[in-house]
């Protein structure tokens, strides 16, 4: 097993991949993106990623530190990235209450989505936003422009395939003439059944278009009519939560969702004789915490189902929350509401400075004498260079 720097858990995802990824690859022939993720996670914070040597300027103590892989599926590499992203949201969110929607597709479409991930995930985003826009037409927001921030997740607590969108929508919108902020009803955006019906219609329409133009491939021996009829015969689960309080509540909530990976190292409890045990929350049993044990190869197979296509953005912004409106509509909304957000704290800071600001720990201070600073004096190159 490759020695890793900064291991925090007795069993990590990287340990499981190091031991059993060859068996997994021989059995399932993973795609290039999955192979890339395996290489990145197994070498994260090891000598294979390169790094640097540092020396204390007081006592002469020496240490080595290895680089992170920075892969978006690596559970070790999301902490600082998540904190910086949440901090930057201070400059984008509208300081009002927000509704939380979850858009889920029926199991009948899972195979279609999995073999056309880039296309179908983009359609899922589009259909969710179209449902919000069209549902708002019959509310007091009919003549206003609202927005949304959407995050794609593809897993359940037990790592099964379950594509769904989490979307936050501000409880209000700016009027057509941009002269008034129109608030939605206190605890109501639109009837959830109406939102669900619109979402189903929009999604199936977009899928139909993609299948006809050849950009979406059908599973073997299955027709679109069969899949569509099967999907329409099932209940489409759309979840809506009452609006959350101020912008800080929204930001804290987002922090738990935005840069989450399929499983964190803290949930993996044991690996023994080729069996991996991990903790999960059973929402069907009053949210009780339980333990599941799978063969290591099956565990890896489930994790690998959630590796996203290259250059795919799993966080997207719509309407008044889109980046193009940051300096225009958003500023007008803030003026109409009469509130301002806090400025982002971490803009321009290095990762070491961000870590110190978050944890209060100075990772540049010498761990030996606790007085000096660790000064980098030599880079550790990548072994293949």
For residue 56, list its beta bridge partners: 374
DSSP for 267-301, written as a single string: GEEEEETTEEEEEEEEGGGTTEEEEEEEEHHHHHH
Q: Which of 350, 299, 314 minimizes the C-alpha distance to 12?
A: 299
Average pLDDT per 10 consecutive residues for the chain, totaling 385 residues: 51 95 97 96 93 93 91 88 81 84 95 97 97 81 83 95 93 88 77 90 97 96 94 87 71 74 94 96 90 98 97 93 85 88 78 83 89 89 69
Number of H helices, E strands in the chain: 11, 14
| pLDDT value for 300 | 98
**176-183 long-range CB contacts below 8 Å, 24 or more apart?**
176/143, 176/144, 176/145, 178/329, 178/332, 179/336, 180/336, 181/333, 181/336, 181/337, 182/140, 182/141, 182/143, 182/144, 183/96
Q: Please state the domain extents for the chain.
A: 13-74+360-380, 79-262+306-337
């Amino acid at each position: 097993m490759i020695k890793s720097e900064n291991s925090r858990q007795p069993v990590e995802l990287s340990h499981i991949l190091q031991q059993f990824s060859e068996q997994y690859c021989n059995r399932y022939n993973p795609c290039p993106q999955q192979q890339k993720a395996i290489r990145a996670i197994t070498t994260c914070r090891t000598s294979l990623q390169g790094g640097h040597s540092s020396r204390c300027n007081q006592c002469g103590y020496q240490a080595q530190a290895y680089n992170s892989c920075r892969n978006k599926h690596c559970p070790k590499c999301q902490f600082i990235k998540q904190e910086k992203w949440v901090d930057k949201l201070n400059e984008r969110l509208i300081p009002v209450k927000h509704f939380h929607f979850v858009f889920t597709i029926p199991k009948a479409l899972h195979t279609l989505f999995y073999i056309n991930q880039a296309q179908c995930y983009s359609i899922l985003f589009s259909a969710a936003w179209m449902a919000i826009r069209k549902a708002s037409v019959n509310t007091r927001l009919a003549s206003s422009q609202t927005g949304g921030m959407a995050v794609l997740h593809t897993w359940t607590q037990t790592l099964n395939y379950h594509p769904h969108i989490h979307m936050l929508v501000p409880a209000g919108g700016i009027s057509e003439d941009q002269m008034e902020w129109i608030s939605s009803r206190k605890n109501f955006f639109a009837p959830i059944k109406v939102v669900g019906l619109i979402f189903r219609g929009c999604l199936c329409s977009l899928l139909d278009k993609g299948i006809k133009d050849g950009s979406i491939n059908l599973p073997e021996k299955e027709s679109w009519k069969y899949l569509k009829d099967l999907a329409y015969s099932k209940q489409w689960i759309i979840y809506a939560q009452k609006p959350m309080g101020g912008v800080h509540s929204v930001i804290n909530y987002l922090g738990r969702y935005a840069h989450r990976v399929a499983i964190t190292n803290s949930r993996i409890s044991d690996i023994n004789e080729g069996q991996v045990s991990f903790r999960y929350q059973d929402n069907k049993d009053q949210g009780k915490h339980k333990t599941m044990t799978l063969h290591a190869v099956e565990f890896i197979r489930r994790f690998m189902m959630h590796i996203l296509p290259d250059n795919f953005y799993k966080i997207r912004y719509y309407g008044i929350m889109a980046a193009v409106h940051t300096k225009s509509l958003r500023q007008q909304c803030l003026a109409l509401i009469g509130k301002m957000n806090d400025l982002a704290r971490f803009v321009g800071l290095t990762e070491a400075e961000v870590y110190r600001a978050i944890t209060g720990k100075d990772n540049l201070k010498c761990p030996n004498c606790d007085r000096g600073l660790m000064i980098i004096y030599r880079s550790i190159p990548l072994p293949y260079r």
